[in-house]
Amino acid sequence: MNDAELDAIADAVVRRLKRNPARLPDGGLRVVSGGEKGGTGACAAPLPAAPAGPRPDGVGRPLEDLSWRGPKPQLAAWTPAAGPRRVADFVDHTLLKAEATRADILKLCGEAREHRFAAVCVNPVWVELCARELAGTGVAVASVCGFPLGATPSTVKAMEAAEAAARGATEVDMVAAIGHLRGGEWAYVEDDIRAVVEAAPRALVKVILETAVLASEEIVKASAVAKLAGAHFVKTSTGFHAAGGATTEAVRLMRLTVGDDLGVKAAGGVRDCATALAMIGAGASRIGTSSGVAFVGCLGPAPLSLAELLAKPEEHAAACKTGTCAVAAPGGVQAY
């Protein structure tokens, strides 16, 4: 895909949002220098198709069907037509701090096992322990590569992904080549992602875009490139960048770009139920957070009508059962 085609995709997404104000991200759209394109009245460019070839087993399954867990990639996206869901089904229970100990990781796994979260997300050194602790539970083990800067050679990212998969990871959260992305070197970004996808062919690959440092058009283009490269999810943030974490604006743009073929993960700063529900309402199918236990304590372990909850997520904080889910986390750039 060349630069002109990527520009056309970005134009199409931005113009579709503007034609439907109800889907316009809060605060409007940020544009790159040079202003908006697409004012000529040309037809909107179609969004890119997924790579040719057989598609993984998870494609097209309703959101309620969780049989994709484990080595089979899940590509069925969040949809407003989905029925009652457990909030735990959205949670990637995350602990990526450097100072995390074995005891901390065992506690994380115990909580994930108890609440049946979608996955745990840990640094590579802990993958084997998590895989052993969570065997047979249905909870996926996610690791990271190129983390947290993305400024690692593609060959190294690929080796990290392959090693994590060999040790038992069924999901890999990779950081895209952010500098190349910002510089418009899209061929490099695509090849970088594809190297990880091919190195861990049975793993679900999520591509972290670090959306807080990107303009709207860059979010759209990066999401489209991730889809073309064979990734299974796009993800907002590492949670370690000083610029910030997930926003509903970024999630909406990512969802509109990738459609129903890929998952969208919101991560970084999602610490309370109201924020989590807003992200789900914007199109997130996973939430990366260390607050999943609080979410379950607040919203309960049973399936809930998300249609009702998502109508007014901002009102949820006042009705929080635990009184803790809306409490801001202490300072620092670690936003999980």
Write out the catalytic residue numbers. 173, 235, 265
8 A C-beta contact, residue 100 and residue 168: no
* Count of beta carbons in the 10 Å neighbourhood of residue 180: 18
Question: What is the C-alpha to C-alpha distance for residues 157 and 139, in angstroms, rounded to an integer?
Answer: 24
For 247, phi and psi rounded to 5 degrees?
-135, 155
Question: What is the C-alpha to C-alpha distance for residues 260 and 100, in angstroms, rounded to an integer?
Answer: 35
Question: What is the C-alpha to C-alpha distance for residues 179 and 175, in angstroms, rounded to an integer?
Answer: 11
Question: What is the C-alpha to C-alpha distance for residues 31 and 165, in angstroms, rounded to an integer?
Answer: 38
Strands (E) across the chain are located at 91-95, 119-122, 140-145, 171-175, 204-208, 233-235, 263-267, 286-289
208-237 CB burial, b ≥16 within 10 A, e <16: bbbbbebbbbbbbbbbbbbbbbbbbbbbbb
Residue 249, C-beta contacts closer than 8 angstroms, at least 6 positions apart: 25, 26, 27, 29, 216
Looking at the chain, how many residues does it have? 336
Taken in order 94, 244, 270, 21, is the CA torsion positive or negative?
negative
Q: How far is CA 226 from the centre of its chain?
A: 12
Work out the angle between the directed axes of helices 216-228 and 186-199 (0-180°, nearest 10).
40
